[in-house]
Amino acid sequence: MKKKTAKVFRPTAFASPYLIATIIFVIIPLVLVLVYSFRGANGEFTFENFRKVFTDKETLRQLGQTLEIAAVSTAICLLIAYPIAYILASAPFKKMAILALLFIIPMWINFMLRIFALQSLLSMLGVKKGFGAAVIGIVYDFFPYMLLPIYTVLSNMDKSYVEASRDLGANSVVTFFKVTLPLSIPGVISGISMMFMPIFSSYAITKMMGDMNTTVIGAKIANLFEYQSIGNYGYGSALSFVLLIVVLLFMFLGTILTKRSPKAAKPVKGGTL
């Protein structure tokens, strides 16, 4: 009986539901997207969809604008989130928990409700729809995803490195740039990954906050699939697959940078860092 029970309750058995769900909801849809990406307007096999992705001027323009929106929004979030995360990680536990909760609570509110509220506020302040309003909306919505990874890394950082730096005669500025910042790089990379890549498909924010000339590439993909045409399905699938490859490359690059990030600055001769 014990041997039979052991065979039934192997660790791999508990992974079976997840594996089945992954096959049904991830693998099969991706295969369908890949198949449709090679289909032409008449259902024939073609590479025309992929050629169009890299040659269509409007698609390249929207892709460039998406990269611009993502880069600007991510940079603003990083500049705001890092100092706040540093302060939260340095605060006493009770104050730290309360302050961190203030940044998490907005995530409990419905996404559309938050964007509508922000849209009304910007309208009252006289901020017109466009690139700036779209960036504000993205920063507002994705800010916790940048804050929390950095805060987690800083709060779990071994404080003995900072103490050793000060014992060796380094001031606060030197300690930050040679100890704290290098140790927090994994959190920064994680925050950038969690924010930069999802912006490609966050067309709801740019649609509500931007104008006709401000959009992300995800909006084009959505529009292509709204029209019941095999040709549009093929082009939309090809564009989706190319973006998937781009996202995977960014994830791979982020993993490499995280592994190669310095653990801590080493002290140099002379008693200082």
* pLDDT for the residue numbered 228: 60
Query: Residue 96 sits in a domain of what CATH number?
Result: 1.10.3720.10
CA-to-CA separations, 105 to 77, 109, 190, 227, in angstroms, rounded = 18, 7, 21, 38
Residue 210: its pLDDT value, please? Answer: 83
State which residues of the chain have pLDDT below 70.
Answer: 1-9, 92-100, 228-231, 261-273
End-to-end, the C-alpha distance of the chain in Å comes to 63
* Within-domain flag for 222: yes
Q: Model-level pTM?
A: 0.80
Q: Is residue 198 part of a domain?
A: yes
| In a domain? residue 16 | no
Domain boundaries, position 250: 59-229+244-260
Instruction: Specify if 237 maps to a domain.
Output: no
Q: Is residue 273 part of a domain?
A: no
Tokens of 206: 């740019």
Q: Indicate whether 46 belongs to any domain.
A: no
* Tokens at 9, concatenated: 């309750």
Maximum pairwise Cα distance, the chain: 75
104 is a domain residue: yes
Question: How far is residue 44's CA from residue 37's CA, in Å, rounded to a whole number?
Answer: 11
As for how many domains the chain has, the answer is 1
User: Is residue 228 left, alpha or beta, with left meaning phi > 0 and alpha meaning psi from -120 to 50?
Assistant: beta
In a domain, 103, yes or no: yes
For 79, the token pair is 């500049």
What is the structure's pLDDT at 263? 55
